[in-house]
Amino acid sequence: MSAAAAPHGTVVAVARDSGHHFTKPVRDEITLVEHHGVEGDAHAGATVRHLHQVRKDATAPNLRQVHLMHAELFDQVAADGFAVDPGTLGENVTTRGVDLLGLPEGTRIRLGADAVVELTGLRTPCNQINGVQQGLMKRLVEVDDDGTVRRLSGVMGVVATGGVVRAGDAIEIELPDAPHRALGPV
């Protein structure tokens, strides 16, 4: 990894749900468990837990243990009339002040004093988003003029180091050594 981490943002909210529901209730704190995910969350585990991915290959490694989303996205979609709050889109950690989508694969994100999440890829939004508000899915996937698809619904990662995470915790970013690889869908 490259040079020491520096403060970059703040945790706005944390959420978890023991069931496979689309939204996750906001909590006072969550505990990240190394190589497992968010304690008590339906998506925690060493192998895939996302129901669609389990049907494909239940033995595949879980690259989606923690879902992080930037609160700035909520601000952007609010301008289009959509009301989205932390946890509504199924994220475990809502951030502010971090360009999550611009970080490379392998970036380590320190959340609070101890927890570290290593980024594995972009979250691929699904049609369940329209169940939150009709038309929201279209707002979370953009297609550039050249046909490039941009997924805006956050990033996924695995727990490299466990710890407790709370709203108000500082976020530090540690980039991997170059060359950097852009995040792709997982």
| Residues 142-166: tens digit of each pLDDT | 999 999 999 999 999 999 999 999 9
State yes or no: pLDDT of 3 exceeds 60: no
CATH number at residue 12: 2.40.33.20
Asked if the structure places residue 76 within a domain, the reply is yes
State yes or no: pLDDT of 100 exceeds 60: yes
Asked if the structure places residue 55 within a domain, the reply is yes
Which pLDDT value is given to residue 126? 84
Asked if the structure places residue 25 within a domain, the reply is yes
Which pLDDT value is given to residue 125? 86
Asked if the structure places residue 181 within a domain, the reply is no
Grouping H, G, I as helix, E, B as strand and the rest as coil, residue 160 is: strand
Which spans in the chain are helix H?
A: 51-56, 71-78, 129-132, 136-140
State yes or no: pLDDT of 7 exceeds 70: no
Question: pLDDT by residue (tens digit) across 102-114?
Answer: 999 999 999 999 9
State yes or no: pLDDT of 124 exceeds 70: yes
Banded pLDDT at 54 (limits 50, 70, 90): confident
Phi/psi region, residue 35 (left: phi>0; alpha: psi -120 to 50; beta: rest), is: left
Contact, 123 vs 155, CB < 8 A?
A: yes
Mean pLDDT of 65-94: 96
Range of the domain at 106: 6-174
Question: At residue 10, what are phi and psi to the nearest 5 degrees?
Answer: -140, 145
Asked if the structure places residue 184 within a domain, the reply is no
CA 141 to chain centre: 16
Asked if the structure places residue 60 within a domain, the reply is yes
State yes or no: pLDDT of 74 exceeds 70: yes
Mean pLDDT of 12-35: 97
Which pLDDT value is given to residue 4? 46
d(CA 112, CA 165) in angstroms, rounded, equals 6
Strand segments (E) across the chain? 6-15, 26-27, 29-33, 37-38, 66-70, 93-96, 108-111, 115-122, 141-143, 149-151, 155-161, 163-166, 170-174
**Dihedral, 165, 110, 117, 29 alpha carbons, nearest 10:** 0
d(CA 84, CA 107) in angstroms, rounded, equals 26
Range from 11-20, 136-145, 158-167 carrying the lowest mean pLDDT: 136-145
Asked if the structure places residue 179 within a domain, the reply is no
How many domains are there within the chain? 1
Look at the chain and count its residues: 186
d(CA 111, CA 167) in angstroms, rounded, equals 10
Average predicted confidence (pLDDT) for the chain? 94
Asked if the structure places residue 186 within a domain, the reply is no
